[in-house]
Structures are given as structure tokens and as C-alpha cells.
């Protein structure tokens, strides 16, 4: 019997050790996950900062009277860094997505999984917002470069419609801009230099947008598929806040009513004590009166 009890105790200790090991492994896994989340968030913030710097470079380049090659190189370096960091973020988000899908396929459901899904959705949405802003920045710069080309063409005496200019840009051939133009003056030469410079900028921009196109589509589709879940989470959070606010309000009312009830109870007790004193006083008067009245009868 004693040996059997020792076996049961040993088995229980072994189960406890296994349970502790599982908890430790899970906690370690979540710690690693949150470290990865912070890395992704840091990369997204880095991209956002670079996008703002790209905007500043665009404005500086367009406002410069002459082409600043150094600034253009700095712009290209920024764009290359954005591309590199964005691809790293995309790769990490895809990896997390695959892990989540694998666990869902295995019919696993846990609080940890829900946390990871929420974090992944939040990061994906933020990433798409930043990259969408970057895409808008590039598109806006392309439009401003195109307007500069159109103005420079007008200086040389060549008038083009917006559609004609788009066709010229899509051809990718700089010579098409100089055809039919007599560059007799210094102004014409400067104008053509400006046209060639802006045309090269547009070509680089279009290549950049094309390279990131697949990423935009991939991440946008991911966020769209997560939209319903995000909306459901936000709905639950909002209603939780409403519930808490109502609970706080009800608690304040309860405290107020309780305080009022306590004051009424104390007042009732005070009135009862006063009433008892009055009764005792009333009872004392007749007794005193009887004593005096009785004594008076003897005289």
C-alpha cells in the first residue's frame, strides 16, 4: 500500500513538472513573439519617418533652380532603404500569418492565439497605411514632375495636351521630347535639360512603384480580409468601455444611495433615542407628581 502511494505521488509530481514545462514554453514563445512585434513596429516607424523625409526631398528638388545630383542620390538611397525595410516587414508579417493559419488548421484555440491574431492585424493595417502614404507621395511627385515638363515644353514653344504628354512619358524615350525643337537659345537648352532630368525622375518613380506593386496588393488584400475581425474587436472594445462607464456610474449611484440610506438610518436612530428620552421624562413627571401630591395629603 505504501509503495502504491509513493507511485501515485511520483506520477502526480511528474504531471506537475510537465504542466510547468508547458507553461514555461508557452510564456517563452509569447515573449519571443512580442519581441518580434516590437521589431516589426520599429521597422514600420522607420519607414514612416523615411516617407516624411522623401516628401521633404521632393519639395527641395522641385524648388531648386538647378538639378542637385547630391540630393537626388540621397532620395534614391531613401527609396532603396524604404524598399528594403518594407520587404523585411512584409516577410515577417507573412511568417506570422502562416503560423496562425497552421494553428487554426489544427483546430487550436487559445487566448495566446487570439492575442497574436490581434497584434498581426494591427501591425498589418498600420503597415498598409504607411505604404499607402508612400505610394501617394510617389504619385504626387510624378504629377508635379510632369507639370514641370509641360511648362518647360511650353517655354520651347512645344504645346502638348495631358494625354500627349502621358504618351510621351510612357514611351520611355527622352528623344521624343526634343524632336521638332530648335535649341537656338540658352533658355531652350536649360529647358531641355530640365525636361530630361524630370523625365528620368519619373522613370525611376515608376520603377519604384512597379517594384512595390505586388506588396501593396498582397498587404491590402490581407488587411481587407481582416477588416471584419478588426471591426468586431473594435465593436467589443467600445461596448466594453460603455459597460465599464455604466458600471462606474451605477457604482457612484449606489454609493450615493447607500450614504443617503445610512444618514436616514442614523437620523431614525437619533429620533428613536430622543423619543425614548421624552418617554422617560414623561414617566418621571407623573411619579414625581404622585410623590409630591401624596406628601401634601399628609399635611
pLDDT band for position 261 (50/70/90)?
low
Look up the pTM and report it. 0.61
C-alpha cell at 34: 512580442
Task: Give the residue, 281 or 142, on which the prediction is more confident.
Answer: 142
Reported as a single tens digit per residue, the pLDDT across 93-139 is: 999 999 888 888 876 667 888 899 999 999 999 999 999 999 899 98
Distance in angstroms (rounded) separating the CA atoms of residues 299 and 294: 10
- Percent of the chain past pLDDT 70, that is, above it, reads 58
Find the DSSP H helices in 156-185. 162-171, 175-178
SS3 182: coil
Distance in angstroms (rounded) separating the CA atoms of residues 287 and 293: 10
Task: Give the residue, 53 or 205, on which the prediction is more confident.
Answer: 53
Reported as a single tens digit per residue, the pLDDT across 34-68 is: 999 999 999 999 999 999 999 999 999 888 877 77
**Res 255: pLDDT:** 46
**Res 159: pLDDT:** 76
Most confident of 14-18, 131-135, 168-172: 131-135
Q: Does residue 82 surpass a pLDDT of 90?
A: yes
Distance in angstroms (rounded) separating the CA atoms of residues 101 and 225: 13
Q: Does residue 238 surpass a pLDDT of 70?
A: no
**Res 283: pLDDT:** 44
pLDDT band for position 155 (50/70/90)?
confident
**Res 36: pLDDT:** 94
Reported as a single tens digit per residue, the pLDDT across 185-196 is: 555 667 777 777
Q: Which residues contact 78 (CB under 8 A, 6 or more apart)?
A: 50, 53, 54, 57
Q: Which residues contact 172 (CB under 8 A, 6 or more apart)?
A: 203
Q: Does residue 206 surpass a pLDDT of 90?
A: no
Amino acid at each position: 500500500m505504501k509503495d502504491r502511494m509513493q507511485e501515485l505521488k511520483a506520477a502526480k509530481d511528474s504531471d506537475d513538472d510537465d504542466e510547468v514545462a508547458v507553461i514555461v514554453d508557452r510564456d517563452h514563445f509569447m515573449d519571443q513573439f512580442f519581441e518580434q512585434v516590437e521589431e516589426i513596429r520599429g521597422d514600420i516607424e522607420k519607414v514612416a519617418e523615411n516617407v516624411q523625409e522623401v516628401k521633404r526631398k521632393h519639395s527641395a528638388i522641385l524648388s531648386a533652380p538647378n538639378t542637385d545630383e547630391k540630393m537626388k542620390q540621397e532620395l534614391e538611397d531613401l527609396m532603396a532603404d524604404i524598399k528594403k525595410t518594407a520587404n523585411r516587414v512584409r516577410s515577417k508579417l507573412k511568417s506570422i500569418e502562416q503560423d496562425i493559419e497552421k494553428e487554426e488548421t489544427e483546430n487550436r484555440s487559445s487566448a495566446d492565439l487570439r492575442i497574436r491574431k490581434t497584434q498581426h492585424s494591427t501591425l498589418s493595417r498600420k503597415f498598409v497605411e504607411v505604404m499607402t502614404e508612400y505610394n501617394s507621395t510617389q504619385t504626387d511627385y510624378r504629377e508635379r514632375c510632369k507639370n514641370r515638363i509641360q511648362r518647360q515644353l511650353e517655354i520651347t514653344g512645344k504645346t502638348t495636351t495631358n494625354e500627349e504628354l502621358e504618351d510621351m512619358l510612357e514611351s520611355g524615350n527622352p528623344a521624343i521630347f526634343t524632336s521638332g525643337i530648335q535649341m537656338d537659345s540658352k533658355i531652350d537648352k536649360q529647358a531641355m535639360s530640365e525636361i530630361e532630368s524630370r523625365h528620368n525622375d519619373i522613370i525611376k518613380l515608376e520603377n519604384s512603384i512597379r517594384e512595390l506593386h505586388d506588396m501593396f496588393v498582397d498587404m491590402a488584400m490581407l488587411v481587407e480580409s481582416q477588416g471584419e475581425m478588426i471591426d468586431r474587436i473594435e465593436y467589443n472594445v467600445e461596448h466594453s468601455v460603455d459597460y465599464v462607464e455604466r458600471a462606474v456610474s451605477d457604482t457612484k449611484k449606489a454609493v450615493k444611495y447607500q450614504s443617503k440610506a445610512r444618514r436616514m438610518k442614523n437620523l431614525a436612530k437619533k429620533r428613536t433615542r430622543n423619543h425614548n428620552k421624552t418617554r422617560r421624562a414623561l414617566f418621571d413627571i407623573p411619579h414625581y407628581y404622585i410623590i409630591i401630591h401624596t406628601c401634601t395629603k399628609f399635611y
